Amino acid sequence: MSTLSVLVEASSCSWGKLTCQHGERTIGIILRAIVSFCNAHLGQSASNQLLVFAYGKNVEKKMIYSSARSENRNTSHVVVECLREILMGDCNNDDDVIGAPLGPALAHAFCHMKKHSRVATADPCDDSLGPAASSSNNDQSDSTKEKMTSRAVVTSMTQIMGSEHGSLMNLFFSAAKQCICVDVVSMGDDSTGGILQQAADITGGSFSHAQKPHDLLKILMTNMLTDPSYRTAFSKLSNSSVDYRASCACHHTLVSSGWVCSICLSVLCQYTPICKVCRAAFTITNLPKKPNRKRTLNFIRRYPIKSIR
């Protein structure tokens, strides 16, 4: 039994940028690839669970589909219609900034996967069968726990904002502790993926960059459809050059050294008296002071160069 959470970026600016780069059929190609991947996961086993989330600035309802809750078994129709409604609603906003916050939707997905794992491993017959059958029930529950896996697949189109660096790192370490694998497909201009490549490396997942929309379906089916425990039989993607630099909250770029806010732990590439993320004010007494130019000029006027010599 496996629970899969698919997170799709629902920013109209990001989708529009990809459409301008690769043509008008880009949206249809991406939607068909996501729907085909979801149906393939459900077709592997009748006990598999599917969760689809959309993350963006103006997305109020993060989870757009759940195979355990939805009465409509037509997954393709539900997912496509929900994503189209979200993108059409986001087009009417005046905000033209490219980017989408991933943290809330990813935390929502982790909570649902943890909930599904608890329900799947629970044995409702423990109380009715009594203490005599406790050993057999424990063996059955242990075997169920071994088969239960949770995975998350993130489809990103833009670079993650630097203001989310602290919260996302906490989520990634929590996912690694709960044995949740995070796979990432990046479709943006940045082939390294930034912090998303770190997420795949921390949780034991795979990171891939789709240069064209036509490559999305091939990457999803080849590298991310199988369970993580069976991926050792296939050729593993090389993540040897993982960039673990932090992303600054000022310009959303990777920096090797910078200033860290003591309140929200966000990274800033240059010193500012007020944090740009949490608006906390702090002072540093060890900063080098500028020389007093007025005192230097007065010294030169009182003691000319000739008299000093």
Q: Do 274 and 194 share a structural domain? A: no
What does pTM read for this prediction?
A: 0.75
pLDDT digit string (tens) for the chain, length 309 residues: 789 999 999 888 888 889 998 988 999 999 999 999 999 999 988 888 999 999 988 888 889 999 887 777 788 899 999 999 988 888 877 766 667 888 899 999 999 888 877 766 554 444 433 444 444 455 544 444 446 789 999 999 887 666 677 788 889 999 999 989 999 999 877 776 778 888 888 998 888 889 899 999 999 998 888 887 777 776 665 555 777 777 787 777 778 888 888 888 788 888 888 888 788 887 766 655 555 555 555 544 555 545 444
Q: Do 297 and 219 share a structural domain? A: no
Q: Do 170 and 61 share a structural domain? A: yes
Q: Do 262 and 204 share a structural domain? A: no
Strand pairing category for 207-209 and 246-247: unpaired
The DSSP 8-state label assigned to residue 284 in this structure reads: -
Alpha helices (H) in 123-281, listed in sequence order: 126-129, 134-147, 165-177, 195-203, 215-223
Instruction: Locate 251 and state its tokens.
Output: 């310009």
Count of domains forming the chain = 2
Cα separation, 49 vs 296, in Å, equals: 74
CATH number at residue 16: 3.40.50.410
